[in-house]
Amino acid sequence: MATYKELMAQKAALEAHLEEARANEVSSVIAQIQDLMAEYDLTVEDIAKRRRGRPSGSGAAKAKSALPPKYRDPKTGKTWSGRGRQPSWLGRNPNRYLIQEEA
């Protein structure tokens, strides 16, 4: 059975090997990326502004605004916009809880 100090020395040696292997692989990956960027005439800005093939600032990133309520429970004052799971207080006839639009 190895002692604690021996295991710690093995751990340190293994971590040194890991760092060396990573450094070697990272340099080859960077070279591949640079080759591809040169081949396709890309800049760092081109890569930073793209996400999954779409330009940044697409509609998916915009925050959704809350919808106005469409139904109101007169007993509790709770409201529902008509989106998502239907609340139980609507029951079988939701038309009686419709909020009248003010003209």
Q: What is the model's pLDDT at position 32? A: 94
Condensed to tens digits (0 to 9), the pLDDT of residues 68-85 reads 889 998 899 999 998 889
Q: Which of 16-25, 43-52, 88-97 has the highest mean pLDDT?
A: 16-25
Residue 31 in 3-state DSSP?
A: helix
- Say which residue, 17 or 95, is predicted with more confidence: 17
Sign, CA torsion 50/51/53/54: negative
Share of the chain above pLDDT 70, in %: 84
> CA torsion sign, 35 to 36 to 39 to 41?
negative
**One domain, residues 76 and 47:** no
Same domain, 28 and 75: no
10 contacts: CB under 8 Å, gap ≥ 6: 2
Clarify whether residues 38 and 76 are in a common domain.
Answer: no
Residue ranges making up the domain that contains 10: 4-61
Shared domain for 51 and 77, answered yes or no, is: no
Residue 54 has φ and ψ, to the nearest 5°, of -110, 145
Q: Is the pTM higher than 0.85?
A: no
Structure tokens at 74: 């007169």
Considering the domain architecture, whether residues 53 and 38 belong to the same structural domain is answered as yes
Confidence check: pLDDT of 58 > 60: no
pLDDT tens digits for range 12-39: 999 999 999 999 899 899 999 999 999 9
